[in-house]
Amino acid sequence: MPDLAAIAARHTGSPFLAACRGEPHDTVPVWFMRQAGRALAEYREIRARHSFEEVVHTPELAAEVTLQPVRRYGVDAAVLFSDIVTPVQAIGLEVTIEPGIGPVIDRPLRTSEDIGRLRRLDAEEDLRHVLDTVSLLVAELDVPLIGFAGAPFTLASYLIEGGPSRSYTRTKALMFTDELTWHRLLDRLASITLSSLQGQIARGASAVQLFDSWAGALAPQDYERFVLPHSRRVLEELEGMGVPRIHFGVDTGELLGAMAAAGADVVGVDWRTPLDLARQRVPEHVGLQGNLEPAVCLGPFHQVAERARDVLARAGGRPDHVFNLGHGVLPDTDPGILAELVDLVHAEGVVQEPADDR
């Protein structure tokens, strides 16, 4: 096991960690969701020789693709290269990552009996390859490593639908017709997610992001009843581990308050909700991450610059803002644009002193 105190000491001056905690720092930190991936030629080169699964399951490869965007863009944090379904693959579910589609489950979970197929995850045993990747990265990186896991709802939606979905009809059908089974399922998934994140933190991840990517498909009252308790268990049990917890999903404009209430230090906001509006929907002590429209980065840099300045302005110079896109980097993005964007955020972002009441 690594010396966590030494790792923490190494990142004392990290603007990313300072922003997650709302503490004073000089430059606005920036990283990008899906910063490792197809936008980078050096990633595509590795993928030409190795499948997605091979990369995730080979620590040297997973570490290399995690490092690529840190070198290329000069971002303030690395994010573990992994997939939302990795932990359920690790306990024996047959999941294939189909290029251009996403995770596809051979035998979807749809009944009370199917839950039996989700056994407990022992992270050090079942996710050894992932945790070894974390160890390699922590030894190598000058910036903090963000651990990665899918939240119980988003995991459930993949397992129930059998793959990506537009309407999540089967997922919601289970939720609305068999609440007991639903909560049993989400409870198991919460345990799996928690174990995975605890394992990553124990190996030296300096922060975690809980991806509830598809929770925004839910009405607020359904989120609060069917999802929040399980995500809260994950986030609250991580609280004592001393690393910032980021909680993110798309389409979550009406859920931001609830996602903060689940126990987040920072709430990630997609591009639909301007940060000044988002600010009004989360408590004062919670930071915000986001939220440049990723597709803007497909266009010319002068437009990217204008929009990045708008994001910075709406963040209002608060010390608890982490600059990011509103969702993942699109594969067709020119990496040169992202590198320029990082420079702009560092050069132009102004961080005010934390208010006394924080």
Tell me, residue by residue from 254 to 273, as one string, x for binding to its own copies by CB under 8 A and - for no binding: x----------------xxx
Considering the rule CB under 8 A, would residue 221 count as an interface residue with its own copies? yes
Residue 99 contacts its own copies per CB under 8 A:
no
158 tagged catalytic: yes
Judged by beta carbon, residue 229 or residue 274, the one nearer its own copies is: 274
Query: One-letter amino acid identity for 194?
Result: L
Q: Which of 21, 34, 203, 279 is catalytic?
A: 34
Tokens of 208: 């975690």
Tracing tokens 């922060």 back to the chain, one arrives at 207
Is residue 220 a contact point for its own copies (CB under 8 A)?
yes
254 or 340: CB nearest its own copies:
254
Closer residue to its own copies, CB minimum distance, 34 or 57 = 34
Q: Which of residues 133-152 bind its own copies (CB under 8 A)?
A: none
User: Rounded to the nearest 10 degrees, how much is the dihedral formed by the CA atoms of 80, 296, 212, 154?
Assistant: -100
Catalytic residue among 83, 212, 265, 270: 83
Q: Is 323 helix (H, G, I), strand (E, B) or coil?
A: strand
Cβ-Cβ contacts under 8 Å for 122 (sequence gap 6 or more): 195
Check if the beta carbon of residue 117 is closer than 8 Å to that of residue 92: yes
Catalytic site residue 47?
yes
Q: Does 277 bind its own copies (CB under 8 A)?
A: yes
34 is catalytic: yes
Contact, 196 vs 83, CB < 8 A?
no
Q: Is residue 83 flagged as an active site residue?
A: yes
Q: Which of 12, 113, 177, 353 binds its own copies (CB under 8 A)?
A: 177
Give the nearest distance from C-beta 213 to its own copies in angstroms: 11
Is residue 176 part of the contact set for its own copies (CB under 8 A)?
yes
Q: Mask of contacts with its own copies, 304-333, x by CB under 8 A? A: ------x---------------x---x-x-
Positive or negative, the CA dihedral 348, 346, 317, 211 is positive
User: Which residue among 218, 260, 308, 341 contacts its own copies (CB under 8 A)?
Assistant: 218
For residue 31, the tally of other CB atoms under 10 A from its CB is 24
Query: What are the residue ranges of helices labelled H in the chain?
Result: 4-10, 15-21, 41-49, 52-57, 59-73, 86-90, 123-126, 128-140, 152-161, 169-177, 179-202, 220-222, 228-238, 256-261, 275-281, 301-315, 335-348
Q: Which two tokens stand for residue 323?
A: 């600059």
For its own copies, the binding residues (CB under 8 A) are 164, 166-169, 172-173, 175-177, 216, 218-222, 251, 253-254, 271-274, 277, 293, 295-296, 298-300, 303, 310, 326, 330, 332
Would you name the residues annotated as active-site residues? 34, 38, 47, 83, 158
